[in-house]
Amino acid sequence: MRINRMPLALLCAFVTAGTGLVPARAETTATVEMLNRKGDERFVYSETLVRIEPGDKIRFAAADKGHNAVSVAGMLPTGADPISVPFNKDGEITLTRPGLYGIKCTPHVGLGMVALVVVGKPVDLDAAVDAASDLPSKAKSRMFELLSQL
């Protein structure tokens, strides 16, 4: 019986997909993992420059424990809700306002754990540069490097 289960499951998957009742794929367009280590780097987001379009979703995944993802003060489009993904939780957020969303990990921003999400066009670049200037040294240089790539 065990041998027969796999083909049956596959057949069901095809039949179900054919009905259109199950989405072909998730709507999430970008995933950022919160990591203790990536290569030689410690305490980093898996992606530090993320480009999506207005209305797309971004997912912050708690791949390792002890990290969060919150908005950098002043690095948020006017009228947008601040991002606040709590420690050790996955968070999925739909971003509708175009512009720049600066992200930091509260306990590790001093070690440079920041990311930049660009939604559509980077319309508020000057304000974001000003706000990034207030970050701790390593985070500031990382954020400036990301902003310079726009």
Note the residues at the interface with Cu ion (CB under 5 A): 43, 67, 105, 108, 113
**Distance in angstroms (rounded) separating the CA atoms of residues 148 and 129:** 10
Q: Which is nearer to Cu ion, 67 or 142 (CB)?
A: 67
| Residue whose CB is less far from Cu ion, 64 or 92 | 64
C-beta of 120: minimal distance to Cu ion in Å? Answer: 27
Q: Which residue is nearest to Cu ion (CB)?
A: 105
Shortest separation between residue 5's beta carbon and Cu ion, angstroms: 41
Burial status of residue 91 (CB atoms within 10 A of its CB: 0-12, 13-18, 19 or more): middle
* AA identity, residue 124: D
Q: Are strands 114-119 and 69-71 parallel, antiparallel or unpaired?
A: unpaired
Minimum distance from residue 80 beta carbon to Cu ion (Å)? 22
Minimum CB separation of residue 92 from Cu ion in Å reads: 19
Nearest residue (CB) to Cu ion, 67 versus 132:
67
Beta-carbon contacts of residue 89 (< 8 Å; ≥ 6 apart): 62
Closest CB to Cu ion among residues 97, 138: 138
Q: How far apart are CA 85 and CA 83, in angstroms?
A: 6
